[in-house]
Amino acid sequence: MLRVATEAIARKLGNTLVAPIVPFVPEGDIAPPTGHMKYPGTISVRQATFKALLTDIAESLRAHGFERVILIGDSGGNQTGMKEVAAELMPKWRAAGAGIYFIPEYYSFYDSGELSKWLAGQGIQEVDEGHHDNVAITAMVMAADPNAARVNQRRAKGRLAINGVKLDPVAKTVAVGRRALEYRAEVTVAAIRRAVAASK
């Protein structure tokens, strides 16, 4: 989903390249396991590892002439590292007329409840069932790749619903997901423009 979202953001910004997505981020302590590391199959990296990787990626892009690097992430575990890397690199980059920006609004759009408010504005009311999921996130995943939401398996088990909201018909949920992706892109682009303007 992040790839589809960043491409929507890039289209709105124009003249923008989407760098490869960093697939491994802090998901909790490795030993003893905390956070998502409590669940089998999770791969985590330490904050120091994540920050070193982001620093090298950002500086590689800068070495190739990129004047602005935007850091966004869709996991709570990677927000701190991105913020710190941007803060550490920005003084040096600014002196060279460039900039690196951490944009928390991409993730906080979900985390702050803004996404749920948007969903309610679409006429969709959900009741939290205590899972790490909501209708809008799954709808965005389905808009990016319906197979990623395991629609057929959920339907076969009678579980094609989240928080009391049915995901069938799939085409309707995908349409909601596309609108959510566009709205999230608009929120993020506005935040990027504010951050760049504030740094001048």
CATH of the domain at 175: 3.40.50.10310
Q: Round to whole Å and give the CA distance between 83 and 67.
A: 18
Mean pLDDT along residues 97-107: 94
For 99-148, the three-class secondary structure string (H helix, E strand, C coil) is EEEECCHHHHHHHCCHHHHHHHHCCCCCCCCCCCCCHHHHHHHHHHCHHH
Which pLDDT value is given to residue 1?
67
Give ∠ CA 174-176-149 in degrees, rounded to 5: 40
Q: Which domain holds residue 13?
A: 2-198
Place of tokens 């799939």: 170
pLDDT tops 80 at residue 185 = yes
pLDDT at 136: 87
pLDDT of residue 68: 95
Confidence of residue 117 (pLDDT cuts 50, 70, 90): confident
* DSSP states of 13-66: H-S---PPP------S-TTTT-GGGGSTT-----HHHHHHHHHHHHHHHHHTT-
Mind listing the pLDDT tens digit for each residue in 1-50?
677 888 888 888 888 888 889 999 999 999 999 998 999 999 999 999 99
Q: Which residue has the tokens 């990623």?
A: 148
Count: domains in the chain: 1
Residue with tokens 């409590």: 38
